[in-house]
């Protein structure tokens, strides 16, 4: 939805929202509004102990988990999101979620945290790999909503200044080509040897962080690597943009 409550005219990016359904499950406040312009795949996962068969757990907890997912899906659909759900019982949640990313061609994965409203988004970029994915996600979610976007690049000491400027300039143009207004885009470059700390520090003045995965596996990023560490320090939602992956 845009600021007037009308449907977005931009393509809906597909965002995976992993939800642990073992016990009570809910979406943090503000999640539905954040994803109002998205196609959301709610992946409900129940991590089963190794000594327990997954089918046994499904028979015991499957119906209650399905009810939970239906309620979460309804909350998202009420604000305009397109929603589908997946329920999996698994011994390895991280690997299973990574597979679901492939199966549903998800553009990003949400590390969900509370957010009151979305006025300012921090888009942390490292290089030109994933530029198209970054721009498609940010424009798809926010171009119609009057949201301000800061394109941030943490430059290490070995990176030429011209290369750093090229990264943020190309990203800015990609956003504008997808309908973002120039007046809503700011670019920031700083030299840093601690990218996670730098992103978290910049994020303090923003409502949402968008950042790319650092290797081709959401398993690494969502379950304990940079995006998760940023989310812990930032305490707001982090959208982890998935990089193009080899056909094999």
Q: Decide which of 230 and 192 is more confident.
A: 192
pLDDT for the residue 17? 96
Count Cβ atoms below 10 Å from residue 170 Cβ, excluding itself: 16
pLDDT for the residue 95? 87
pLDDT for the residue 127? 75
Percentage with pLDDT > 90 across the chain: 59
Q: How confident is the model at residue 242 (pLDDT cuts 50, 70, 90)?
A: confident
Could you report the per-residue pLDDT of 69-85, keeping only the tens digit for each? 999 999 999 999 999 99
pLDDT for the residue 181? 95
Q: Decide which of 6 and 126 is more confident.
A: 126
**What is the pLDDT of the chain when averaged over all its residues?**
87
Nearest to 133 by CA among 11, 2, 8: 11
Count Cβ atoms below 10 Å from residue 182 Cβ, excluding itself: 9
Instruction: Fold for 120-241, please state it.
Output: Rossmann fold (3.40.50)
Summarize the confidence of residues 143-151 as an average pLDDT: 93
Q: Decide which of 200 and 75 is more confident.
A: 75
pLDDT for the residue 5? 53
Domain range annotation of the chain: 14-108, 120-241
Summarize the confidence of residues 199-215 as an average pLDDT: 84
Summarize the confidence of residues 198-218 as an average pLDDT: 79
Q: Is the pLDDT of residue 218 over 50?
A: no
**SS3 state at 40:** strand
Distance CA(177)–CA(134), nearest Å, equals 13
Could you report the per-residue pLDDT of 154-190, keeping only the tens digit for each? 888 888 899 989 999 999 999 999 999 999 999 999 9
Q: What dotted CATH number matches 14-108?
A: 3.40.50.620
**SS3 state at 17:** strand
Backbone angles phi, psi at 240, to 5 degrees: -100, 110
Q: Is the pLDDT of residue 6 over 60?
A: no
**CB of 200 closer than 8 Å to CB of 233:** yes
Summarize the confidence of residues 30-35 as an average pLDDT: 96
Q: Are the folds of 14-108 and 120-241 the same?
A: yes
**CB of 119 closer than 8 Å to CB of 207:** yes
Distance CA(90)–CA(77), nearest Å, equals 27
Q: How confident is the model at residue 90 (pLDDT cuts 50, 70, 90)?
A: very high
pLDDT for the residue 94? 85
Q: Which residue has the tokens 């979620």?
A: 97
Q: Is the pLDDT of residue 132 over 60?
A: yes
């Amino acid at each position: 939805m845009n600021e007037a409550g009308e449907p977005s005219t931009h393509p809906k990016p597909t965002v995976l929202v992993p939800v642990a359904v073992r016990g009570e499950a809910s979406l943090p406040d503000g999640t539905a509004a954040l994803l109002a312009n998205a196609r959301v795949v709610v992946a409900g996962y129940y991590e089963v102990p190794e000594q327990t068969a997954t089918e046994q757990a499904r028979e015991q907890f499957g119906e209650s988990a399905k009810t939970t997912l239906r309620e979460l899906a309804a909350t998202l659909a009420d604000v305009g999101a397109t929603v589908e759900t997946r329920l999996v019982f698994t011994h390895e949640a991280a690997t299973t979620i990574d597979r679901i990313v492939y199966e549903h061609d998800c553009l990003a994965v949400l590390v969900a945290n509370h957010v009151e409203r979305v006025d300012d988004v921090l888009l942390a970029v490292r290089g030109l790999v994933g530029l198209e994915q970054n721009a498609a996600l940010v424009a798809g979610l926010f171009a119609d909503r009057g949201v301000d976007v800061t394109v941030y690049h943490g430059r290490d000491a070995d990176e030429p200044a011209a290369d750093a400027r090229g990264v943020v300039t190309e990203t800015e143009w990609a956003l504008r080509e997808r309908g973002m207004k120039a007046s809503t885009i700011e670019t920031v470059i700083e030299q840093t040897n601690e990218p996670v700390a730098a992103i978290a520090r910049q994020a303090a003045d923003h409502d949402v962080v968008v950042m790319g995965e650092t290797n081709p596996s959401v398993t690494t990023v969502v379950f304990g690597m940079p995006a998760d560490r940023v989310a812990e320090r930032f305490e707001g939602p982090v959208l982890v943009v998935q990089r193009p992956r080899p056909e094999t």
